[in-house]
Amino acid sequence: MITFLPCYVAMQLTGIIHDVSLFFVIGASYGMFSHLFLDMLTRRGIPLLYPLTSKSFRIANFKGGGIGDKLAIYSCTILIILMLLNFKVPFL
């Protein structure tokens, strides 16, 4: 019984660490790929194949810093604050 307890605690902690690291990897991957995708929407684009070529790839030709950009930042900030306060947003 005495040797079983440390093994049980170690297994439980390993499971918690595994779950946290899995969520971290998923979140970091989502953030990285969404950042690349959104950078491809700008006029400058991104050099996806940089060591091979310096050609920039882009999907659209949006200009940043306008009224639409500020509106998106403010609305996302308000939504994040509401989610952190655990406010029930009807459309989410």
The string of pLDDT tens digits covering residues 11-58 is 666 665 666 666 777 788 888 888 888 888 888 888 988 888 889 888
Euclidean distance between CA atoms 63 and 72, whole angstroms:
13
Are 55 and 83 contained in the same domain?
no
Regarding whether 40 and 20 lie in a shared domain, the answer is yes
pLDDT digits (tens, 9 = 90+) for 46-89: 898 888 888 988 888 777 778 877 888 899 899 888 888 876 65
Q: Which two tokens stand for residue 75?
A: 């609305």
What is the tally of structural domains in the chain? 2
Residue 74 structural domain: 63-92
10 and 21 in a single domain? The answer is yes
One domain for residues 24 and 57: yes
Judge if 9 and 37 occupy the same domain. Answer: yes
Query: Does 31 share its domain with 73?
Result: no
Say yes or no: 54 and 21 in one domain. yes
DSSP 44: S
